[in-house]
Amino acid sequence: MPARVQIREVGPRDGFQNEPERIPTDDKIRLIEDLARAGFRRLEVASFVRSDVIPQLDDAIEVLHGVDVPGDVELRVLVPNERGLQIALEHRDTFHDVVIFVSASETHNRKNVNRPVAASLAALERMAPVIKGAGLRCSATVATAFGCPFEGVVDPARVLDLASRLAEAGCDELGFGDTTGMANPVQVRSFFAEALRTLPGIELTAHFHNTRGQGLANAVAALDAGVTSFESSFGELGGCPIPPGATGNIASEDLVSMLEEMGVATGVDLDALLHAARAVQTLLGRPLTSHVLVAGPVDWSGGGARRTS
Amino acid sequence: MPARVQIREVGPRDGFQNEPERIPTDDKIRLIEDLARAGFRRLEVASFVRSDVIPQLDDAIEVLHGVDVPGDVELRVLVPNERGLQIALEHRDTFHDVVIFVSASETHNRKNVNRPVAASLAALERMAPVIKGAGLRCSATVATAFGCPFEGVVDPARVLDLASRLAEAGCDELGFGDTTGMANPVQVRSFFAEALRTLPGIELTAHFHNTRGQGLANAVAALDAGVTSFESSFGELGGCPIPPGATGNIASEDLVSMLEEMGVATGVDLDALLHAARAVQTLLGRPLTSHVLVAGPVDWSGGGARRTS
């Protein structure tokens, strides 16, 4: 097991995006600052998508200008296309990392961004050098990397081919998303072992969903293969759960709890993270479903029983 | 990874026991038969506890005499003490396996059965030969094997010492329970690697809870260590969740789904198991929380998206 991993908290983008009720900009800013205070050094906080597509994220500029986080916290924005990148770059001093994305499966890509994979890839290959040229870090995510709800099996060779092209285009980090929670630990170990051989010297990030309860098992499988970069969402927010009511992203508090218990340092203070998760639960006005939020952290002092009784 | 594992379905005992509303005996029998039809060859179906302590299980004898399952299905009963064993043995033709138990931690054992660990162990050492003498299989479970909510850390050496004593007393199978979901995958791998060295030639069974979302990750860790026997509960029923509302036992449908996806045969038909889980959900009249029950199985044909849309 590695001594330390990086966890990127994606709730303020991937989580909030799924919320039907408007979250006030000030609350977004406060929660992002809570998450930075909990110890996350990587936060995905905004998206430059068209506001008629995702109105919830139309305050990206206000959020980016409003947050006050320590200098070593890397803020990331998502851009869906070259137009979004153009707008984002007008505010390039407010963030550090841009994530661009493509689906490994043709049908998912068309349903998600209304164009073929080849067209998305070509655009990403144009965008990556622009992002790097602006002095920013460039991440790319391959969605449906472990299976597609529309096409079923996704060939790992196709995923790695896309990833190699994005690495050649200059990306600093490549993420692989189990977009609808189809991955299993054997598949994950095998995939990341091959990915680490194929893509040496580039950071590989695992993004799992807990749709079928296997999210943390997949995270351990990725760790076993040598992955040390993960993404998760506080309060188990987001991840476009399919069907509605299912689980989407793995919960940051569940991932942090497990890793710290395993002796793998995350840099995140679990109590402070739970404070942020409780704050967003209060704000959203519904019970959130992450396990550690409900059950509390493991207490090896024997005090857990008193606390919960 | 092993080609095949054994899963014991414990819902009809460990799950039903936690239900406040009376479940009619006929419904219990029907659900047990559904579970046998799904492919489980090991079912824990009854308990010989005092009916004033757990009224829900006071129909153990009617259940045992009423169920009609294939000849290769092994039915197990739980007995808490010598008095319970005496009553159970009056019906010895109706089941195949008796499980006896002790907690590894002093405080949990006292709170659970109102006696010190040494007294429980001495009773179990008397009961095992009686069970074997009656021509029955004898299993013993060590509870709080990975941590105790009252005492915190539980020394693995103490757990293995208890297990060795129970093996010497004649037990055929030793189970280790993560009674309040404190275990993590590193701990589980290390524990079972040592247990398999210490206790050669005896079946070792892993019983995990999903209290902090790590249940399936712990199951994979146990598999990695060489464990091929697991327990779980359909519909994610039971497991005395602490605090109330938290998750208890890992769900059979989540475990079966993950293992089958990993290429590890369970002998269980997932669709038939989901049928049983939906049946108990209807009977109990509340939404159950297992992931695969909510999200449906992984569909590699690409039909999943159609089904859920």
- Chain B residues 221-250 within an 8 A CB cutoff of chain A: 221, 241-243, 245-247, 250
**Dihedral (Cα; B82, B84, B85, B86), 10-degree rounding:** 90
Those of residues 185-204 in B touching chain A at CB distance below 8 A are 185-187
Q: Which pLDDT score, from 0 to 100, does residue B309 have?
A: 33
* Cα(A231)–Cα(A177) distance, integer angstroms: 9
Inter-chain CB proximity B215 and A215 less than 8 Å: no
**Cβ contact A214–B258 (<8 Å):** yes
> A-chain residues within 8 Å CB-CB of B304?
149, 152, 180
Q: Is A185's pLDDT higher than 90?
A: yes
Each residue of B208-229: pLDDT tens digit? 999 999 999 999 999 999 999 9
Residue B179: pLDDT above 80? yes
Of A105-109, A207-211, A303-307, B16-20, the poorest mean pLDDT is in A303-307
B15 touching A (Cβ < 8 Å) = no
Q: Do A245 and B180 touch (CB under 8 A)?
A: no
Q: For residue A1, what is the nearest residue in chain B, using CA coordinates?
A: B186
Average pLDDT, chain B: 96
Strand pairing report for B229-232 and B203-207: parallel
- Rounded to 5 degrees, φ, ψ at A148 are -125, 130
Which candidate in A220, A256, A309 is best for mutational testing of the B interface (most B CBs within 10 A)?
A220
Looking at CA atoms only, how far is residue A233 from chain B in angstroms? Answer: 14
Residue B240 with chain A: CB contacts under 8 Å: none
The predicted-structure confidence for A3-17, as pLDDT tens digits, reads as follows 999 999 999 999 999
What angle is formed at CA A174 by the lines to CA A173 and CA A179, rounded to 5 degrees? 140
Which residues in chain A are contacts of B187 at CB distance < 8 A? 261-262
Could you check whether the bond before residue A129 is cis, i.e. omega within 30 degrees of 0?
no
Give A301's contacts in chain B (Cβ within 8 Å): 152
- Interatomic CA distance for residues A213 and B290, integer angstroms: 8
Residues A302, B151: C-beta atoms closer than 8 Å: yes
Q: Tell me: the pLDDT tens digits for B54-82?
A: 999 999 999 999 999 999 999 999 999 99
Residue type at B207 in one-letter notation: H
CB contact under 8 A, B210 and A148: no
| A265: contact with B, CB 8 A cutoff | no
Kindly give, in sequence order, each residue whose CB lies less than 8 Å from that of residue A264, ignoring residues fewer than 6 positions away. A1, A2, A3, A4, A5, A223
How many Cα atoms occupy the beta-carbon half-sphere of A54 within 13 Å? 22
Q: In one letter, which amino acid is B82?
A: E
Distance from the Cα of B216 to chain A's closest Cα (Å) equals 6
B25 Cα distance to chain centroid = 20
List the CATH code of the domain at A6-308: 3.20.20.70
pLDDT of B135 > 80? The answer is: yes
Closest C-alpha to B19, from B208, B235, B238: B238
Per-residue confidence (pLDDT) for residue B244, from 0 to 100: 81
**Helix locations, chain A, DSSP H:** 25-38, 60-66, 82-89, 106-113, 117-133, 156-168, 185-198, 215-225, 252-261, 270-284, 291-295, 304-308
CB B132 within 8 A of CB B92: no
Size of the A and B interface in Cβ pairs below 8 Å: 170
CA-nearest residue to B261 within chain A is A184
Which tokens sit at B190? 């290390």
What does the alpha-carbon distance between residue A75 and residue A94 come to, in Å, rounded to a whole number? 8
- Contacts with B19 (C-beta within 8 Å, 6 or more apart), sequence order: B56, B237, B284
How close, in Å, is residue B99 to chain A by CA atoms? Answer: 26
pLDDT at A306 over 70: no
Contacts of A149 in chain B (CB under 8 A): 299, 302, 304-305, 308
Run of H or E including B261: helix B252-261
Question: Minimal Cα–Cα distance from B162 to chain A, Å?
Answer: 21
Give residue-wise pLDDT tens across range A21-69: 999 999 999 999 999 999 999 999 999 999 999 999 999 999 999 999 9
| Residue B75: predicted pLDDT | 98
Q: A44 forms bridges with which residues in the sheet?
A: A76
User: Rounded mean pLDDT of B242-268?
Assistant: 95
Contacts of B242 in chain A (CB under 8 A): 295, 305, 308
Evaluate whether B41 touches B72 at the Cβ level (below 8 Å). Answer: yes
Q: Any bridge partners for residue B207, and if so which?
A: B177, B231
Q: Inter-chain contact A212–B300, Cβ cutoff 8 Å?
A: no
**If residue B27 lies in a helix (H) or strand (E), which one and from where to where?**
helix B25-38
pLDDT at B245: 83
Enumerate the residues of chain A whose CB falls inside 8 A of the CB of residue B151.
302
Q: How many angstroms away from the CA of A215 is the closest CA of chain B?
A: 8
Is the CB of B291 inside 8 Å of chain A's CB atoms? yes
**Partner residues linked to A176 by β-bridges:** A142, A206
Indicate whether A193 pLDDT > 60.
Answer: yes
Residue B308 confidence (pLDDT): 42
| pLDDT surpasses 80 at B33 | yes
Q: Is the CB of residue B2 less than 8 Å from the CB of residue B228?
A: yes
A152 DSSP assignment: B
Contact B242, B180 (CB under 8 A): yes
Distance of residue A271 Cα from the nearest chain B Cα, in angstroms: 14
Short-list A157, A160, A216, A162, CA closest to A184: A216
Residue A264 distance to chain B (closest CA, Å): 10
Evaluate whether A7 touches A41 at the Cβ level (below 8 Å): no
So what's the pLDDT on residue A242? 77
Tokens of B111: 């709170």
Bridge partner list, B251: B233
Residue B302's pLDDT band (cuts 50, 70, 90): confident
pLDDT at B82: 97
| Lowest-pLDDT range of A72-81, B173-182, B300-309 | B300-309
The answer to whether residue A149 scores a pLDDT higher than 90 is yes
Residue A295 backbone dihedrals phi, psi, to 5 degrees? -90, -20
Residue whose C-alpha is closest to residue A135's, from A176, A175, A170: A170
The per-residue pLDDT for A302 is 85
Cβ of residue B156 closer than 8 Å to a chain A Cβ = no
For the stretch A251-264, pLDDT in tens is 999 999 999 999 99
> Using a CB-CB distance cutoff of 8 angstroms, which residues of chain A are in contact with residue B300?
147, 152-153, 182
Cross-strand pairs, B176: B142, B206
Q: Which of the residues A260, A262, A281 would you substitute to probe the B interface, choosing the one with the greatest number of B C-beta atoms within 10 Å?
A: A262
Residue of B nearest to A306 (CA): B150
Query: How is residue A202 written in tokens?
Result: 């580039």
φ, ψ at A212 (rounded to 5°): -115, 25
The CA distance from A25 to A27, in Å, is 5
**B147 to chain A: which residues are within 8 Å by CB?**
298, 300
* Chain B neighbors of A181, CB-CB under 8 A: 295
Please provide residue A306's backbone torsions phi and psi, each rounded to the nearest 5 degrees: -65, -45
Q: What is the dihedral of CA B113, B117, B119, B120, to 10 degrees?
A: 50
Q: How far apart are the first and last CA of chain B?
A: 35
The shortest C-alpha distance from A133 to chain B (Å) reads: 39
Q: Clarify whether B171 is annotated catalytic.
A: no
Q: Is the pLDDT of residue A305 over 70?
A: no
Most B-contacting residue of A210, A214, A240 (CB-CB within 10 A), to test interface: A214
Q: Using the beta-carbon criterion (under 8 Å), do B257 and A1 form an inter-chain contact?
A: no
The set of residues, in sequence order, having a beta carbon less than 8 Å from that of B199 and lying 6+ positions away, is B160, B163, B164, B167, B174
Cα dihedral B120/B121/B122/B126 (nearest 10): 100
Give the model's confidence band at A308: pLDDT under 50 very low, under 70 low, under 90 confident, else very high: very low
Q: Which of the residues A138, A148, A171, A240 is marked catalytic?
A: A240
ipTM of the complex: 0.96
Res B121 pLDDT > 50:
yes
pLDDT at residue B304, rounded to an integer: 57
Model pLDDT, residue B195: 98
Q: Please, what is the average pLDDT of chain A?
A: 96
